[in-house]
């Protein structure tokens, strides 16, 4: 990759200028935008050059020209590139994680875990490149060989969010590359430095120019090109439900297949027979870690009446005890929200919720005032409140009483979303009934709603997802298409 001087060494303290990478060349012309540190008001982590629709067009053309050569590369060699990239990323965990923390705000321990997970995802899909890609089928003809195989789509657009700025791109880009596609990737404008690290290790590992093109831009500038360009074969997006709906409408008009991972309003049910200490720990982790900025975060806590007070006291104690502060400090449990806009949105939502009856159960506490910090909060409210309906994306848990198991399951399903759901119980029968009845793509028993393994399918039901599942061997369903062959001999 030429122009690599714009890609800084991991963990560097300099303020680099980052550029899009198109056909292996870094582009740093155009308006410069500051990459801000959410933990320190006024702190600048990097600067990036804002790409436009013309740059996105060039990226799609470069990908289209490279796609055929990459598809023709033997799958074991494609997998070898991903394995080398995983090795490089593992060697740089400390520095990449530090940069991730500086621009996104999650604690450095969580950031290190995310970088290691991205490396593991690259390695997993390196192995998937060697998996069978089709099947032979008996033909009615005596002299006919009949088989079908999965083949690449061509150019895939990938649009990723800021909350998991290296893991989510890895689980989209790795299968796309493993199965022979070329990629045009628009990462979040809040996390360009972490994105550059991922692009760099892939290119250093031997990925040919043009196979992965990274466009640093705002969605409104390049969205139409990435969604509706005639040479884009498909698009994978993770982000807000509102943006996902706009993408779906535009993609439908262009007949572009889409994979959408959107919002969640994830319930955790605590039954009277549950281990309440364990349930409180798991609910707190699901609701508050990563400052609640996960689509899989626990948002609604539905508790059987007989243990409502006892459980809520435990959860409030957790919320009030966990340390909020500098995310680079190893003793910190919660860092800041990712941006001023995110902070103001969460604060406004909580203000509206309180005005309409939500009762705050956590005591006020001081948090650092030099960044976008917010202490974890526990509320009690009814099913009509905003906290029962709106995705918060902050460290907030809303508690609701339930008369019994059936009432709890009804409340869990009373949402447009269906991403993840958890049940805490020692009753195996009710656990299995919950698995059958809850409308969610991921179901956890005695575990937090967040936290996923990459070797199994991931996705939600209803308004949480659209299109084929991500991760595991299910990823092949989206990134390839069937070709059926008849050969008379």
Q: Which residues are catalytic?
A: 261, 295
- Count of helices and strands (H, E) across the chain: 15, 21
Structure tokens that stand for 223 in this block: 């969205």
Q: Which sign does the torsion angle of CA 291, 296, 297, 299 carry?
A: positive
Structure tokens that stand for 110 in this block: 């969580």
Name the residue with tokens 């650092």: 368
CA distance 489 to 484: 16
Strand order in the sheet with 396-402: 359-360, 377-380, 396-402, 298-304, 266-270, 420-424, 442-445
* DSSP H or E stretch at residue 335: none
Name the residue with tokens 């990938």: 158
CA distance 279 to 285: 10
Alpha-carbon distances of 227 from 205, 256, 271, 478, 480, rounded to whole Å = 28, 7, 45, 16, 18
Q: CA torsion, points 89, 173, 190, 461, in degrees to nearest 10?
A: -120
Neighbours of 235 (CB within 10 A): 27
H-helix segments, 322-364: 340-355
Q: What is the largest CA-CA distance in the chain?
A: 80
Where do the DSSP E strands lie in 107-243?
Answer: 134-136, 144-152, 155-159, 182-186, 212-214, 234-238
CA distance 462 to 413: 11
By DSSP bridging, strand 258-261 and strand 234-238 are: parallel
* DSSP H or E stretch at residue 193: helix 192-204
């Amino acid at each position: 990759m030429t122009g690599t001087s714009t890609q800084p060494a991991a963990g560097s303290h300099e303020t680099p200028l980052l550029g899009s990478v198109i056909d292996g060349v870094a582009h740093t012309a155009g308006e410069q935008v500051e990459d801000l540190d959410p933990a320190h008001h006024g702190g600048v982590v990097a600067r990036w050059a804002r790409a436009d629709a013309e740059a996105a067009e060039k990226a799609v053309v470069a990908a289209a020209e490279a796609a055929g050569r990459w598809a023709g590369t033997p799958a074991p060699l494609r997998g070898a590139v991903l394995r080398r990239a995983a090795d490089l990323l593992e060697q740089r965990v400390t520095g990449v994680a530090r940069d991730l923390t500086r621009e996104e705000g999650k604690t450095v321990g969580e950031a290190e875990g995310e970088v290691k997970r991205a490396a593991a995802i690259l390695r997993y899909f390196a192995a998937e490149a060697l998996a069978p890609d089709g099947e032979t089928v008996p033909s009615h003809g005596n002299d006919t060989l009949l088989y079908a195989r999965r083949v690449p789509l061509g150019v895939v657009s990938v649009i990723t969010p800021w909350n998991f700025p290296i893991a989510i791109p890895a689980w989209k880009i790795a299968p796309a590359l493993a199965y022979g596609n070329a990629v045009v990737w628009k990462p979040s404008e809040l996390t360009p430095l972490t994105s550059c690290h991922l692009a760099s290790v892939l290119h250093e590992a031997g990925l040919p120019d043009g196979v992965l093109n990274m466009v640093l831009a705002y969605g409104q500038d390049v969205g139409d090109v990435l969604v509706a360009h005639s040479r884009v074969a498909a698009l994978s997006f993770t982000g807000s439900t509102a943006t996902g709906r706009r993408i779906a409408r535009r993609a439908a008009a262009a007949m572009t297949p889409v994979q959408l991972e959107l919002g969640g309003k994830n319930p955790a049910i605590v039954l009277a027979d549950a281990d309440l200490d364990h349930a409180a720990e798991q609910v707190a982790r699901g609701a508050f870690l990563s400052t609640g900025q996960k689509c899989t975060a626990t948002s609604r806590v539905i508790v059987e009446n007989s243990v409502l007070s006892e459980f809520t006291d435990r959860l409030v104690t957790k919320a009030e005890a966990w340390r909020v502060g500098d995310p680079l400090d190893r003793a910190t449990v919660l860092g800041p929200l990712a941006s001023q806009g995110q902070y103001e949105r969460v604060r406004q939502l909580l203000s509206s919720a309180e005005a309409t009856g939500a009762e705050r159960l956590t005591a006020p506490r001081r948090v650092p005032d030099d960044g976008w910090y917010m202490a974890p909060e526990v509320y009690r409210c009814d099913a009509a409140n905003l906290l029962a309906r709106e995705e918060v994306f902050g460290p907030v848990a809303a508690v609701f009483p339930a008369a019994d198991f059936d009432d709890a399951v009804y409340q869990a399903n009373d949402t447009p979303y269906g991403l993840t759901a958890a049940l805490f119980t020692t009753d195996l029968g009710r656990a299995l009934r919950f698995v059958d009845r809850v409308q969610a793509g991921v179901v956890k028993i005695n575990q937090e709603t967040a936290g996923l393994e990459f070797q199994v399918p991931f996705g939600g039901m209803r308004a949480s997802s659209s299109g084929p599942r991500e991760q595991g061997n299910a990823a092949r369903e989206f990134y390839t298409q069937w070709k059926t062959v008849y050969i008379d001999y």
